Amino acid sequence: MKKRVVVIGAGLCGSVVSTLLRDDFEVTVVEQGRKKKPLFTDVDCPTGELNTSINRAEGLGGTTNYWHNALIELAADDLRKAGIVPATIAPYYQKAWSFFLGKSELDDCNRARDANLAHLQSAISTVAHMVLPQARHNVWQLANKTNPGADIAVEYGHAEKIVAPTAGARGYVEIREAHGDRGLRRLDADVVVTCAGGLGTPVLLARSLGQDDGFVPGYHDHPMAYVAKVKLRPDSRLKAISCTTTRAAEVRAGIVYETDDLKTVVYLRPAVDLRLGSITGPARYILSDLRNDPFSPKKIMMLLGNLEAVREAILFKTGLGFRGDYYSVLILGEQTPLPTRGIAMTTGKRPLLNWEVTPAELASYDASVTKFLAEFAADIVEHEVVPTPTWAFRNAAHHSGTANQFCAVPGDASLDFFAAKGLPGAFVCDGSVLRAGGIANSGLTLVALSYRLAELIRADA
């Protein structure tokens, strides 16, 4: 008889892991949402628009029901900070790229990457290579198409607790009917893989270990903010690298600076002029928000109130603005785990995330933006900067680092890397295992880790 693997969460990682294990194990996925739906109430957080714009989601595919699927690798130094030896993850990055793009499509993107690198060689900055496949994938669907095989059972409900095996008794997962109170049921498991996301997993692990009122430190994300507008010289090299369209994807080059051991990446987005109204205030992400939430009256009102932001969003989404002279400067900053930034749990209440940008992080991002303006002074004809104290940071939904205290052995390339301490047979695979994220959107790395974990579980069996 095959062993049973229970995968908790059918989002990005849960979809990849479960489809890779389906032929070797009896796989059951526990997913709290029956339908695709944004999550606004699972965690309280007063900052970062975590609960006012779509930031995470439930249903098969999890947050990938709404994501942009921008793909980018972590740089080697960031992998090392994350406890991942670059050479050991390289083959899995290749699998992750191939999961999203065919060979010739990838070759096109790599050619664009090499051209961008040649344009921007510099001693002051490095280049981030971001690829946006034109098809926005729900990863549950993509993973089932890419890795077909034996049936995967889906149990709808909220995993409350993982109970480790004891001598003679199998381990199990306790499940409550999602959004209801129909009591607990028990799902026996030989192996449990927790993929409930960077906010869901730490809460589940803390409860499983009896820390219902605990504090889980280590949370980090990529704060993002519009910080300036620039007018470029007509022949500026920045225009050539900001967005290259290939047959299957868009390739965007970000320019990365490091100050006081924290990275900041600068992306340019087409603009109409130098006025700052379109990149300040609530309408600044308007088209992205409306695409995911098209019938929100509040957002439609905002849209009508800031037509300049709409024009710029259209220039960006259609790619028409990438040869113009005006650009907005969007930054994403690195955060590292802090002992004070994380999720506080209180019995009977929602978990509370104290996400914030610290003064030291702000100072680092500010210095990096100054470096960008200085490095490209010859390309920038004019610029307008948003005053630093008013930079309105938004959470980028790359919830990371929250399982650091629960997960074993950074730097290890074996199953121990993913093993949940104190819960034999349980493994963690999602943003919560990432001890560092550099400036990279974490999705590609999470897919690479999912491939690695699935291979290790198969080998172990």
Ligand X SMILES: Cc1cc2nc3c(=O)[nH]c(=O)nc-3n(C[C@H](O)[C@H](O)[C@H](O)COP(=O)(O)OP(=O)(O)OC[C@H]3O[C@@H](n4cnc5c(N)ncnc54)[C@H](O)[C@@H]3O)c2cc1C
* CB closer to ligand X out of 64 and 264: 64
Please report, as residue ranges, which positions from 280 to 309 form the binding site for ligand X (by CB under 6 A): 292
Contact between 12 and ligand X per CB under 6 A: yes
Please report, as residue ranges, which positions from 65 to 84 form the binding site for ligand X (by CB under 6 A): 66-70
Contact between 45 and ligand X per CB under 6 A: no
Contact between 159 and ligand X per CB under 6 A: yes
Write each residue from 421 to 450 as x if it is in contact with ligand X (CB under 6 A), else as -, in one continuous string. ---------xx---------xxx--x----
* CB closer to ligand X out of 168 and 295: 295
Write each residue from 378 to 407 as x if it is in contact with ligand X (CB under 6 A), else as -, in one continuous string. -------------------xx---------
Minimal distance, residue 319 CB to ligand X, in Å = 17
> Please, where are the H alpha helices in 121-189?
139-146
* CB closer to ligand X out of 230 and 265: 265
| Spatial CA neighbour of 4 closest among 166, 204, 209, 150 | 150
Please report, as residue ranges, which positions from 186 to 205 form the binding site for ligand X (by CB under 6 A): 195-198, 200, 204
* CB closer to ligand X out of 10 and 243: 10
Contact between 129 and ligand X per CB under 6 A: no
Contact between 269 and ligand X per CB under 6 A: no
Minimal distance, residue 323 CB to ligand X, in Å = 24
Backbone Cα Rg of the chain: 22
Question: Which of 45, 50, 54, 403 forms a contact with ligand X (CB under 6 A)?
Answer: 54
Minimal distance, residue 218 CB to ligand X, in Å = 15
Residue, CB closest to ligand X:
11
Contact between 371 and ligand X per CB under 6 A: no
Minimal distance, residue 429 CB to ligand X, in Å = 8
Question: Which of 8, 21, 232, 238 forms a contact with ligand X (CB under 6 A)?
Answer: 8
* CB closer to ligand X out of 236 and 264: 264
HSE, side-chain direction, 13 A CA sphere, residue 295: 0
Please give, one letter per residue, the 3-state secondary structure of the chain.
CCCEEEEECCCHHHHHHHHHHCCCCEEEEEECCCCCEECCCCCECCCCCCCCCCCCEECCCHHHHCCCCCECCCCHHHHHHCCCCHHHHHHHHHHHHHHHCCHHHHHHHHHHHHHHHHHHCCCCCEEEEEEEECCCCCHHHHHHHHCCCCCCEEEECEEEEEECCECCECEEEEEECCCCCCCEEEEEECEEEECCHHHHHHHHHHHHCCCCCCEEECCECCCEEEEEEEEECCCCHHHHHHCEECCCEEEEEEEEEEECCEEEEEEEEECCCCCCHHHCCHHHHHHHHHHHCCCCHHHHHHHHHCHHHHHHHHHHHCCHHHHCCEEEEEEEECCCCCCCCEEECCCCCCCEECCCCCHHHHHHHHHHHHHHHHHCCCCEEEEEECCHHHCCCECCCCCECCCCCCECCCCCCCHHHCEECCCCCEEECCHHHCCCCCCCCCHHHHHHHHHHHHHHHHHHC
How far is 27 from 74, CA to CA, in rounded Å?
30
Owner of token pair 């603009």: 271
Contact between 20 and ligand X per CB under 6 A: no
Minimal distance, residue 180 CB to ligand X, in Å = 13
Please report, as residue ranges, which positions from 224 to 263 form the binding site for ligand X (by CB under 6 A): none
How far is 322 from 319, CA to CA, in rounded Å?
6
Contact between 55 and ligand X per CB under 6 A: yes
Q: Interface with ligand X by CB under 6 A: which range of 54-62, 210-218, 222-230, 367-375?
A: 54-62
- Interface size with ligand X, residues (CB under 6 A): 40
Contact between 30 and ligand X per CB under 6 A: yes
* CB closer to ligand X out of 119 and 136: 136
Q: Interface with ligand X by CB under 6 A: which range of 2-10, 115-123, 208-216, 319-327?
A: 2-10
Q: Interface with ligand X by CB under 6 A: which range of 57-65, 79-87, 334-342, 371-379?
A: 57-65
Question: Which of 5, 13, 209, 286 forms a contact with ligand X (CB under 6 A)?
Answer: 13
Contact between 64 and ligand X per CB under 6 A: yes
Q: Give 266-310 as a DSSP string.
A: EEEEE-SSS-SGGGSSGGGGHHHHHHHSTT-HHHHHHHHH-HHHH
Contact between 208 and ligand X per CB under 6 A: no
Residues in the site for ligand X, rule: CB under 6 A?
Answer: 8-14, 30-33, 54-56, 58, 62-64, 66-70, 158-159, 195-198, 200, 204, 292, 397-398, 430-431, 441-443, 446
